[in-house]
Each structure stands twice: as C-alpha cells, then as structure tokens.
Structure 1
Amino acid sequence: MLRRIGVRFRPYRWQIACSALMVTVTAVLNTLAPLMLQRIIDHALPRHDVRLLVVLCGLMMGAGVLASVIMIGQSALIYRIAQGVSARLRIDVYDRVRAQPLHFYSERGQAQIQTRLISDIDGVDQFLSGTVQQILAALTTLAAVGTAMVILSWQLALACMLMAGILSLLNNRFARRRRALARVRQGLLTKVLRYVAEDLSWSGVLLGRTMRRTGKQRERFAKTAEEIRDVTFRQRMAGISAYALIGTSFACVPPLIFLAGGTIGSGISVGAVVVLVMLQTRLARPIQGLLRLSGSLQTSVAMFERVLEYLDLDTDDHLLLPNPSPVPTGPAHIRLRAVSYCYPEASGPALTLVDADFTPGSVTVVTGRTGSGKSTLALVLAGLIAPDVGSVQLNDDGGPARLRAEVTLVAQHTALQHGTVRDNVSFACDDLTQDDLDRVLAATQLETVVARLPEAADTSIGAEGFRLSGGERQRLGVARALLTRCRVMIADEATSSLDHATADHIHAVLRRHCRDKTLVIIAHRLPRMEPDDRVIVLDHGRVVEAGTHATLRDAEGPYSGLLKAQYGEMPEMPGVSSSS
C-alpha cells in the first residue's frame, strides 16, 4: 500500500524535496536557539559581555523569524501538494464508480459510494495536508535536537533516545487497536449516511409517515448513532491512555537531568544542563506528537484502504470516454440473437435465448405480464447491460458502447436533478434555446404546468422533482429525451403514471418524433396501435409471440389475450392517425 501511496506523489517529487529541505532548515533554526542560550548563560551573562549578548539575542530572534517565514512557505507547498493528490484521487474514484455495471449501484448503495468519495477521501486529505506535515517536522526536529543533545552530553542523549524507543513500542499496541476501531467507525458512518439518504429524502419521509414507521426509522438511526458513540469513545480513550503514559514518562525526565547534572555529571556547565532540559522538552514534543499522530495515521490508513477497494474495481473502459462521437442520422437496425441475461445472485435468468429484430424506422411494442423481462430487454437494447450469452448488433456492429452512443432510453422511473425545469431539460444538450424548450414543453403538454410555477422554467423542482406530480415528472423525462440525438429511442413504461388520454398523446408525440428513427415501446398497458406496428410478447424472459399487430390481434395467442384483458371483447383497437 505504501508503494501505491508513493505513486500518487510522483508528479510532485520536486515540490516534496523542496518541502523537506525547508522543514530541515526550520528544524535547524529552531535548535540553534537553545545552543545560543547556553552561550548566553555560560559566557555572556557571567562576564557582562554586552556585545556578545546583543549578537546572540539578535541571532536568536532572527532565527525565530526566519523559521516562521519558511514554515509558512513550506505549509503552503504541502497544502498545494495534498490538495492536488486528493483531487486526483477523488476524480479517479469517481471514474471507477461510474464505469461499473448497473447491479453495482444497487449492491453498494448511494451511501457507501458517498462515503468513499467524501468522508474517506476527506480523511486522506486531512492526513496528507496535516498529519504528514507534522510527522515530517517532528522527524527533522528529532534529528536536529538529538544531534545537539549528543554534542552537549552523549550519555544523557542516549538515555533519552532509549526511553523514546520503549515508549514507541508501547504505543504500537494502542495504535493497532485504534486502527481496528477506525475501520468499524467508518462502516457505521456509512450506515448513517444510508439511513439519511433513505429516511430524510422526500420519498423516505413520505414512506415513513404514510406507513406510520417514523418511530422505526428513528430507532435504527439512534441505535447506529449510539454505536458510533461507543466505538469513538473506545478509539479516543485508547489514544488518551497512550498519550498520558508518554506524557507522564517525559515529565520525569527534567528532574532526572538536574539530578544527573549535579551528581554524576559534575563536568557539565549550568548552561548545558539548562539547555539539555530545554532540548529534552523539545525532544519530548515531537515524540509525543508522533505517538499521538499514530492514531490519525491508523485512521487514515483504514480510510485509504477503503478508497483502494474502489480504485481496484474492474471497469468498462468504454464508459470512461468523456464524450461520445457524433450520432449518425437515420434509423438503425438492432438485431438480437440468442440473448440471455441473469442478474447477479438471482435465482433464474431474466432473459433466455431472445431472438428479435428491430428494423430501421419501425415501431415495436414489447409487452408481457409483470416480471416477464421487458425492462431487462430495454437495458440490453440500450447497451446498459451486456448479455451473458448471445449477441446484440446495431447495423452489423456489436458492443454495448455502440448501443449507448446511438440509443436513448426513457425509463419508467424518471431521474431528475435537484435544479430547475430548464436545468433538467438542458441536460440533454449543451445548446438549448428558448424555442427548443418551449417546443418540447408544448409537445408534452407541460407548458401550462411550467407557466404556473413561480419563476416558470427557472423554478427549482426540488430533490427528485418532488414539486411535480408523477405524471409531470414522466412527461418532463420525455421532453428531455426529445432533445437527445439518437437513432433508436426506447420508451420503457414512460407513460405508466399518465391517464389514458395523456398517454395516447405522448405516444403520438413519440411516433412523430421517431419518424426517422427506430422506436421501441415497452408497455404493460398497451398503447394505441397501428396495424403494421410490430409486437413482441415476453413471458418469463422468453419470446412467446412476435409479429405485427394486425396479425397477432386475431391469432388467439398471448397477445390477443392481453388485448382482451385490457380492452374487453373489442374486436380491434383504433389505429393512430397520422395527424394524432
């Protein structure tokens, strides 16, 4: 893991070398002051040498000012490096996460992903910008102070270093415990984020209140919060115990130095004894800091390990492309051959040996009972999931990346941003004009809805579009899709929240919009049909019937049964006129 951390700093190697040099110079300057103090006590003051006293005091002040200036520059350099590494790390994790198969997001959950991108990387950032700087400063101070102590009295310096080594071994026992507790605490924080996302969102609050389970929601949140309290208490008490032991040990050292200087060390001057005590205090401070920081180090290592789990994820490189190539004009032909797909850990396949042709410029309605595999087929056609077996080709070219570049999917559950109507519609294109916005809002019968909003199209619709009804959200999703550049459009239950009249209107709009495209309508509730519309009926992931509406309507098969279940004993459904 240390090697992988080091790789992150490779682009900043010269800045790091400069920072290390500045830290070393600062440590040397801070150590010169006690050495000059010895000269003041042993020579300048007893001899009343004013000139020497002025020179030494001036040098002490100059060294202090210069050390402070260098420290500011060194801190700025470290912060710049740390922010660069953290930003790159966050971008890399984001890229890894967005290049995962769809089932990844349901398995991991939004809260876990947010924890990695925000909380864990924030912890790594604090370590890089604060802890590393303090560790580097402490190590250089130890080296400088240790050298000065050896010059004054190597025996006492050796005793202090030996004690520091023993204390370090004791601290390691506490550090391992803190690291384990840090991992447990991060897991609990992830759980809290999940509860916040589930319970305090618009849909979560609505669910809790309508099901009268707000007490249950609070109970599980409070239980996890109390677990975090207990784990954090144990983690910090482990650190305080180690710190108290170390502090007590170092508190005993100055009296021992005075005792040694007055007995076995009679050759040591008063100034040397005083400076040794001062240096021991300066030696104790970085040692205590290092041992105290080991707790932060262990926590940061635990966070970095969690981040590395995401950096090690396998990815689909095609999903990492920043922008797709321009979409060709004209309808496309999608051909499925023996396509099968099974969701991870599912009891059975969602699709089994599906053969289907979606010819250029055609309108195809895919229908079937609930759970028959309709939405899974839509995901396959859109290139959002790759079949386990079989092939999907678009104009004789295979691969999910090609499908994603030329197919637009309008999903049943409309994903809306926490922004304005204009923000959500303009997500489909970078050059949205007011005329384009007005056109798609009118086409989806949203112009009057938007006009009633306080700031019209510039009104925020809130998280998940909660200010709009379910049908209005679906129509806004359709309006957005009308602005996408594609050759194939798939509407997966895109009108499930609409009344019959409005749904018929939206389907007519889609037909007009897709006259030069290939249109696939996934529908449990059948739309108004044209005689030449193609129909595919799925049942338990298999194609049980396929043909035109006119042919299958009178065939007394599954499609005919679905028609009768929806429309009664109507002999035929009214067609869609070209002007509707």
Structure 2
Amino acid sequence: MNNFAHRGGERGGGSRGAAQINPADRAQLAESPVSIRRVLSLFGPHRAALAIVTAIIVATSIISMAQPFLVRAIIDDALPQQDVRLLALLAGGMVAVAATTSLLGVVQTWMSTEVGQRVMHTLRTQVFAHLQRQSMSFFTRTRGGEVQSRLINDISGMQGVVTSTATSIASNVTTAIATAIAMIALSPRLSLLSLIVIPPAVYLTRKVALLRREITARKQRELATLHSQVEEGLSVSGVLLTKTLGAGTAATTKFAETSQRLVGLELRSQLAGRWRMATMQIIFATIPALIYLAGGFPATSGGMTIGTLVAFTALQGQLFRPLMGILNIGAQWISSMALFSRIFGYLDLVAEIPEPGDPIDLDPSTVRGEVRFESVSFSYDDADRPALSDIDLVVPAGTSLALVG
C-alpha cells in the first residue's frame, strides 16, 4: 500500500454521539426530500404487474359507481310500481357489484403486495451490499444500532409506502374522478355545493403533513439511538465494561431518557394536527345536511326525485371518502420521504477506499503470507495530529502484531 493515508473513526473502536458521515449527508437524511423520479425508478422492473394493478383499480372504481344508480332505480321505479321482478334484479345487481369489487380488491392487494415485497428485497440487498464495500472507518465512527435501524426499521417503514400508499393514491384518485363525474351528471348545482369543501381541506392537510414530516425524522433518529444503546449496553463486552466501571445506573438513566423522548415524539406524531382533522370531519358531516336542505328548495333541486337525492348523497359520501384518503396519504407520503432520504443517503455514500477496478489474481503457491505497510499514515477524526505518520512495517507470515497506544 503505497503512500496510503487514512482517517479513522473514534478511538478505541467505539462510538460516541451520532454517526458522523458529513454535515451534508446528515441534513439530507434528517430533513431533505428525495427525488420522486428516483423512488419511481425502483418499480421499473415491475411495469407489467403495475399496469395490471392500475387496470384493476380503474375497473373497481367504475364498477362501484353503479351502486347509487341501482339505489335510485329501486326508490324511484321498483318500489313505487311494486315491481317485484325489477326489485329482485336491482337488488341482485347491488350484490353482484359488491362481490365483484371485493374480488378485484383481493387480486389487487395480492399483486401490489408482491411487487412491494420484491422492491423491498432489492433495496435491502443493495444497501447491505453497498455497506459491505465501505471502509472500516465508516463502521468505526457509525453506531452499529443506526446501521441496523436503517437496514431493518427504515426499509420496513417504507413498506407501507410501497405496498399501500401508492395503490391507495391510484384508487382514491380514480374513485374521486368517477364519483365527481357521476355527481355532475345527476345535479350540477348540488355538485358545486359539495365541492366547496376541497380548498379548506387541502390547506389544513398541507399544514398537518409538514408537521408530521419533521416529527418523523426526529423519531427515526431517536430510534437509531435506542437501537445503539441496546446493542452496546447489552452485549457481552458492553455489560462487562459497565460492571467494571460501575456505570450501570448511568447507562439505565441514559436509556430511560432516550425512551422518554420517544414517548413524547410518538404522542406528538399521533396528535399532530388533530384539531385540524376534526374541523375537516365536521365540514364533511355538514355537507350531506346542506344537500338535503338544498334539495327541498325549488331553486336548487331542479325537480329532483327522492331517488336521485338519495343517490346523490351516497355519491357525495363516496367522493369525500377518497378525498379524505388522498389528503391523508399526502401527509403520510411527505413524512415517509424522511425514510427514503435516510436509505438513499447510505446508497450514495462513496467508499473511502474504492475496490480496485482490475484486481490482481494471487497464486497460492507463490504467496508468502506476509503483510507489508509502506508510508502509512493514520489519524482520528477529532485529532489535531496523526497517530501514525509515514510508517513502514512488515508482519511476517505466521506471526501476530498489535499496535497499542
């Protein structure tokens, strides 16, 4: 190794404080959003399956729109005319619609989950392989618990985004569009009244999403700290060191403080923006009452039948459910970007000692087995002078050598 200089981690091979990759990486992992294009590129090999899932979602949304119209026909035609045959057909149609959409939902869930799991497998494998190419200094200055947290917890947290959030967005968007078209076809005037809720709902949800994103990033950092404390404090070497120094009480206190911070962050995460969401729910509950009230006035009803009014109210409920889902998914999506940022941050790490592009093949019959260092320097990250400077060293085969100091 000629003219080799290396900056290692903290002294003694341990760790203290947060992982020190570099300030730019820390800012990216904790706060910075990631490219949506990069997230979508993970699904490139699964285009065919995703196309089928999308087709199922669209078909389910269109088929489910038949329910309110079947109800209208029952109220306006079958019941007043006492047409038992028509009533049986319409009721059977309602059952068929429910059965069809449920079956399609099962198939869609199976396919989307399989795609999500394959993407997660690929991502886990890429991160594991990439970390194995990092130099020893990375693992010296980075807490083992944090590495495990990103590889296991963060990717598991992203699973919900991959297997649920994306398909929910597609389902809710198509359902909302189909429902809005059906509502306009039934009554343009009442449709306008129903849609006035969208601007305040979007504003309130955006506020909630930004708050949850900040809390999620902080919670993941505290989880990494907790993982590190468990691994370092309950390992054989950790317990031995704690008992030797009599630091058991201090270690327990430190662990309890981290756990208590997690309690506070979890409470904030669950309660973030609850009053805003409660306001939205009140608004959504008020709209059906206004629709029934407007249906009683000739100026707004336009000669609407009772069946049409009931069908419109049912469609209005179908519109607000996916709309609420879209708004909530937006908040979940933004908060999940912190997880993608942490994983992509590891994938973007550049190895301090890159692997040779054209490695030399060794012949076991000619290898002497000795290790030779030539002009080697080494310093710790927080040191003002090198621990080793321009060292030449030969370790003969079959011998052991330790540098202590």
- Tell me which interval the TM-score lies in, with the shorter structure as reference length: 0.7 to 0.9
CA distance in 2, matches of 1:90, 1:62: 42
Is 2:326 aligned against 1:290?
A: yes
Q: Distance in 2 between matches of 1:37 and 1:317?
A: 68
Residues 317, 13 of structure 1: alpha-carbon distance in 2 compared, 3 angstrom cutoff: farther
Which amino acid counterpart does residue 227 of structure 2 have in structure 1? L
Return the match for 2:187 from 147, 153, 158. 153
1:276 and 2:155 matched: no
For 1:130-529, list aligned pairs within 5 A: 130-263=164-297, 264-315=300-351, 318=355, 328-332=364-368, 336-356=373-393, 358=394, 364=396, 518-523=397-402
Contact 1:338 1:355 in 2 (8 A): yes
Structure 2: distance between partners of 1:116 and 1:105: 14
Name structure 2 gaps, 5 residues minimum.
1-34
Indicate the larger mover: 54-63 or 338-347: 338-347
Structure 1 position 115, deviation (Å): 1.0
Aligned residues: 367
Which of 106, 131, 137 aligns to 2:140? It is 106
Deviations 1:328-378 (A, max 9, x none): 22333765543334344433223323345x5xxxx74xxxxxxxxxxxxxx
Cα deviation for residue 29 of structure 1 reads: 1.4
Q: Which amino acid aligns with 1:339?
A: V
Amino acid at match of 2:333: L
Q: Counterparts of 1:230 and 1:335 in 2: how far apart (Å)?
A: 54
Contact 1:239 1:295 in 2 (8 A): no
| 1:158 partner amino acid | L
Relative distance call for 1:221 and 1:320 in structure 2 (3 A) is farther
CA contact (8 A) 2:208 2:272 kept: yes
The one-letter code of the counterpart of 1:268 is M
Cα displacement (A) at 1:266 = 4.1
Q: Measure the CA separation in 2 of the matches of 1:520 and 1:341.
A: 23
- The answer to whether the 8 Å contact 2:284/2:320 transfers is yes
Equivalent positions of 1:113-124 (< 5 A) are 113-124=147-158
Contact 2:209–2:335 (CA under 8 A) maintained in structure 1: no
Q: CA deviation at 1:125?
A: 0.8
Residue 70 of structure 1 and its aligned partner are, at CA, apart by 0.8
Q: Measure, in 2, the Cα distance between the counterparts of 1:32 and 1:324.
A: 69
Aligned to 1:86: 120
The answer to whether residue 77 in structure 2 is matched with residue 43 in structure 1 is yes
Cα distance, 1:324–1:110 mapped onto 2, change above 3 Å: farther
Q: Whole-Å Cα distance in 2 between the matches of residues 324 and 20 of structure 1?
A: 50
- Residues 212 and 351 from structure 1, CA distance in 2 versus in 1: closer, same or farther, beyond 3 angstroms? closer
Q: 2:341 is aligned with what amino acid?
A: E
Structure 1 segments (4+ residues) deviating >6 Å: 323-326
In structure 2, give the amino acid aligned to 1:284: F
Deviations 1:165-194 (A, max 9, x none): 321122101110110011111111111111
Match of 1:4 in 2: 38
Q: Helix, strand or coil: the match of 1:224? A: helix
Matched letter for residue 352 of structure 1: S
Instruction: Answer yes or no: is the 8 Å Cα contact 2:61–2:171 preserved in 1.
Output: yes
How big is each residue's C-alpha offset from its partner over 1:52-97, in whole Å with a ceiling of 9 and x where there is no partner?
2222222221111111111111100000110011111111111121
Shift, 1:519, TM fit: 3.5
Are the equivalent residues in 2 in contact too, given 1:198–1:204 (CA < 8 A)? yes
Counterparts in 2 of 1:355 and 1:190: CA distance versus 1, 3 Å: closer
- Is contact 1:339–1:353 with CA below 8 Å preserved after alignment? yes
* Contact 1:124/1:304, CA 8 A, preserved across alignment: yes
**Partner Cα separation in structure 2 for residue 79 and residue 54 of structure 1:** 37
Q: Give the Cα separation in 2 of the matches to 1:338 and 1:133.
A: 57
Q: 1:519-573 deviations in whole A, cap 9, x for unaligned?
A: 443157xxxxxxxxxxxxxx99xxxxxxxxxxxxxxxxxxxxxxxxxxxxxxxxx
1:70 and 2:70 matched = no
AA at the equivalent of 1:78: S
User: Comparing both structures, which one devotes a greater share of its residues to strand?
Assistant: 1
User: Mind listing any 5+ residue stretches in structure 1 that lack a counterpart?
Assistant: 365-517, 525-538, 541-580
Q: Does 1:96 align with 2:117?
A: no
Distance in 1 separating the partners of 2:118 and 2:360: 28
Deviation at 1:215, TM superposition (A): 1.6
Q: Which amino acid aligns with 2:104?
A: I
Alignment correspondent of 1:548: none
Q: Secondary structure at the match of 2:124?
A: helix
Verify the 8 A CA contact 2:216 2:335 in the aligned structure 1.
Answer: yes
Query: Which is greater in Rg?
Result: 1
Deviation at 1:50, TM superposition (A): 2.2
CA spacing shift, 1:148–1:327, aligned 2, 3 Å: farther
CA contact (8 A) 2:57 2:171 kept: yes
2:57 maps to 1:20: no
C-alpha displacement of 1:141: 1.3
TM-score (norm 2): 0.84
Aligned to 1:507: none
SS of 2:242's partner is helix
**Which structure shows the higher helix fraction?**
2
8 Å CA contact 1:98, 1:319 repeated in 2 = no
Q: Is the 8 A contact 2:54 2:170 kept in 1?
A: yes
1:243–1:288 CA contact under 8 A, matched in 2: no
Name the TM-score, length of structure 1 as normaliser.
Answer: 0.60
Q: For 1:338 and 1:229, how far apart are their aligned partners in 2?
A: 51
Distance 1:225 1:301 in 2: 24
Please point out which of 83, 86, 90 is paired with 1:52.
86
SS state of the match for residue 522, structure 1? coil
- Alpha-carbon distance, 1:300 to partner: 1.4
Cα distance change, pair 268–317 in 1 and its aligned pair in 2 (3 A): farther
